[in-house]
Structure 1
Amino acid sequence: MNANRSAAVMAQRAEPVDSLDDFPTPPWATRALLRFLRDQGEPLHLQHAWEPACNRGYLARVLGEEFDHVHATDVHDYGWPGQAGIADFLIPWGQDAPDVDWIITNPPFRLGADFIRQALTYARRGVAMLVRTSFVEGVDRYRSLFQETPEAFVLPFVERVVMWKGVLLDPDVPIWKPDGKGGGKAEKPTSATSYSWLVWRRDDDAHLERTTRFVRIPPCRLELTRPGDYPPLPDHLKPPRGGLL
């Protein structure tokens, strides 16, 4: 029997309850958000941001290209020197919370709604979360989150944002896919999962904007990719010696 690899099934990115949900964010996807925020008139160069699920720093480093200061934390130590501390974002922070304008992250899949509610407590200006596009669906999530605190913007990517577990991959660099029979082939990494940025914003009186607008992020990966964005291809994904690209 062939495995079911339909888009509907492959889009179900489910993680065990104890998973770190390690899916690094491609830098170009973050730059697309920052460009949108600049176009909305946000003076990012004067603002502070918090990245509470910083992983290996791929998203936080891009925030640092625009924001005056970026505070990066994670519940796990991934070895990135820019991480300010090991901390569970979902604890009651009280007066220990960083003083920030924005909280921006790619949250753990199963904790997305919890991250959003927590972020709205501490961000002065706005919150942006990178989620599966299907995150906006569901009665339970509507009742517990969106009904009372609707997002200001839903920003779906027209292009696929390629995110693989545990590794940041350049979608233009082929990886080796063994066939289980001693052979295999090299293919460019792809994803069946579609992603969107959800953005909450406060107005000048600090009230959350309550009208949701849908704005597509046009094709921009090539434009927003910079040299050095991607680490070298891990050895286990390189074609074997003599393998054809």
Structure 2
Amino acid sequence: MGCAGSEREGSSGSGKQSLSNKPKVELALSEETLGALLPIAVYWTYSALYVLLGSLSSLDKYRLHPRGDEAKNIVSRATVVKGVLVQQAFQVVVALGLFTGPTLRHWSSGSMGRGMGVLDTWQYFMHRYMHVNKFLYKHVHSKDHTLVGLILDTVGGALSFLVSGMSARDGIFFFSSATIKTVDDHCGLWLPGNPLHALFGNNSAYHDIHHQLYGSKCNFSQPFFVAWDRIMGTYMPYTLEKEGRKTRASDVALVIIFLMTLSS
């Protein structure tokens, strides 16, 4: 009887021991992999948020254009989704190649500032050239937005990463921030309290002018600042008519990034 009881106790004890020694299963992503995938997750999450907000009639007063204007968009949502997925497939391949390098450094605010400057410079001049060159405008810019995205965003992002000397850790924040900024600039909403509108002069209202016939030769700058538009004479300020006054978002970010660059 005593022996049987000891066996049961021993069996129970060994069972507990085997459970405690059972290896834990953890999903660990390298910074390189995270840097390639996180901006894509950020894109779909942030875009879904704006799709949800755009569906609320209570927010119609914050639209830059009446809801009925969306019916004039000849590009279907399915076409847009397909184009984005193709671009993001290339983006993952490029990102994994960029992030494979030497030992990671710590966070560098200077590289972030330089990266923003490089990306803005690339996108301004490439974007403007696509408008100036009639062949490119007719056969590329106005028709194949996937190719435009590859040239402006993917190639521009790769150059920004390489020229600024970012680490993968820097790249995670940089590409995610650029993604959020680009989505926000095309959201078609002017929501109160949006910190991006207060921090950047280049925002949804500013970039919306470029998509209008009267402003198609202006406001090429994206995604962060308006410096190149001012320098090159293509700057056109926006107005928020509901407020009844001209509204200029501050360029405080220019000062911040300049200080970040000096601190590197």
Query: Is the structural similarity TM-score above 0.5?
Result: no
TM-score for both structures, normalised by structure 1: 0.25
Instruction: Report 1 or 2 for greater relative contact order, CA contacts < 8 Å, sequence distance ≥ 6.
Output: 2
Higher helix share: 2
Question: Which structure has the highest strand share of the two?
Answer: 1
With structure 2 as the length reference, what TM-score do the two structures score? 0.24
